[in-house]
Amino acid sequence: MSAAILDEDTERATDKGLADARGGLARLCLATGEVTPAGDMIRYVVAPDGAIVPDIFHKLPGRGAWVRGTEAALKTALGKKAFGRAFRGKGKAGADLPLLVENLLARAALDSLSIANKAGGVLTGFEKVKERLAGNRVIALLHASDAGEDGRAKLNAAANIASPDSPAEIRQFSGEQLDLALGRSNVVHAALLDHAACRAFLANCLKYQRWREDGPRADNTDRNRGDQTIGR
């Protein structure tokens, strides 16, 4: 592939600034060269100190470079030294950039869970969750990743009985992480109600899963499907 074509692809995988960044529904991935929905990508910018940093909410100023939102894609971009071309030699990607992205995605998901809880969209406790499942307003079941299999299985069974369109299942976070996000102790199971803040939390969970698993698969993206498990 000629240098001219490489330069053209690099230009197509970058934006000229924040106004330009908000103007496209899809972008060329700096790592793979594939056109990808912008919502499935992570934008990177050069911080004032010269470090290349992730802009997971697509809000930071400056020229941006776009990479599919997976750890594998970022490592490919780093291996190709693609950021050097994208930022015309400016900026430096630290070895800890993949870990920084993962931590920010996890934090974004947990912060949105806290917001959903404050909005009254989260119900905790095994019996309360089981009772609410009969009301058919639950869009997702949240289980601590270290929860016992018995309780998880019972709630999932109750959800299947209550509705053919069973809620999604989220298992990405430990009980300790859920305790901190929800401001209470010993959170093992929770229900997410049909609320905009809860749907925002689900979207952030999907981004976090995509990063960690290079997914989710195409057949697991419908939030109303009972076969969707996030953090399997």
CATH number of the domain where residue 202 is located? 3.30.1330.30
State whether 72 and 113 are in the same domain: no
State whether 85 and 145 are in the same domain: no
State whether 18 and 133 are in the same domain: no
* Mean pLDDT computed over 113-135: 93
Query: Which pLDDT does position 219 carry in this prediction?
Result: 32
State whether 147 and 75 are in the same domain: no
State whether 124 and 77 are in the same domain: no
* Mean pLDDT computed over 152-172: 87
The pLDDT-based confidence of 232 (bands split at 50, 70, 90) is: low
The pLDDT-based confidence of 11 (bands split at 50, 70, 90) is: confident
Looking at every residue in the chain, the average pLDDT score rounds to 87
For residue 8, pLDDT beyond 90: no
Final residue in a domain of this structure, among 95, 119, 139: 95
State whether 49 and 125 are in the same domain: no
State whether 128 and 49 are in the same domain: no
State whether 114 and 34 are in the same domain: no
Whole-prediction pTM = 0.85
Range of the domain at 32: 3-95
The winner for highest mean pLDDT among 5-19, 190-204, 207-221 is: 190-204
Query: Which pLDDT does position 9 carry in this prediction?
Result: 62
For residue 70, pLDDT beyond 90: yes
Query: Which pLDDT does position 227 carry in this prediction?
Result: 47
State whether 121 and 214 are in the same domain: yes
Number of domains in the chain: 2
For residue 56, pLDDT beyond 90: yes
Final residue in a domain of this structure, among 95, 118, 139: 95
Measured CA distances, 137 to 133, 167, 196 (Å): 7, 9, 13
For residue 221, pLDDT beyond 80: no
CATH number of the domain where residue 21 is located? 3.30.1230.10
The two beta strands, 41-46 and 138-143, are unpaired
C-alpha to C-alpha distance for 170 and 176, rounded to whole angstroms: 15
The sign of the dihedral angle between the CA atoms of 156, 146, 181, 205 is: negative
* Mean pLDDT computed over 64-70: 96
State whether 81 and 136 are in the same domain: no
18/33: higher pLDDT: 33
Query: Which pLDDT does position 24 carry in this prediction?
Result: 78
Strand intervals (E) in the chain: 14-15, 26-28, 35-37, 41-46, 52-55, 64-68, 122-124, 138-143, 168-170, 189-193, 229-230
Final residue in a domain of this structure, among 95, 123, 155: 95
The pLDDT-based confidence of 161 (bands split at 50, 70, 90) is: confident
* Mean pLDDT computed over 222-230: 49
Query: Which pLDDT does position 18 carry in this prediction?
Result: 84
Q: SS3 of 111, please? A: helix
C-alpha to C-alpha distance for 232 and 223, rounded to whole angstroms: 15
* Mean pLDDT computed over 164-189: 93
pLDDT digits (tens, 9 = 90+) for 178-193: 999 999 999 999 999 9
For residue 66, pLDDT beyond 80: yes
State whether 16 and 84 are in the same domain: yes
State whether 187 and 208 are in the same domain: yes
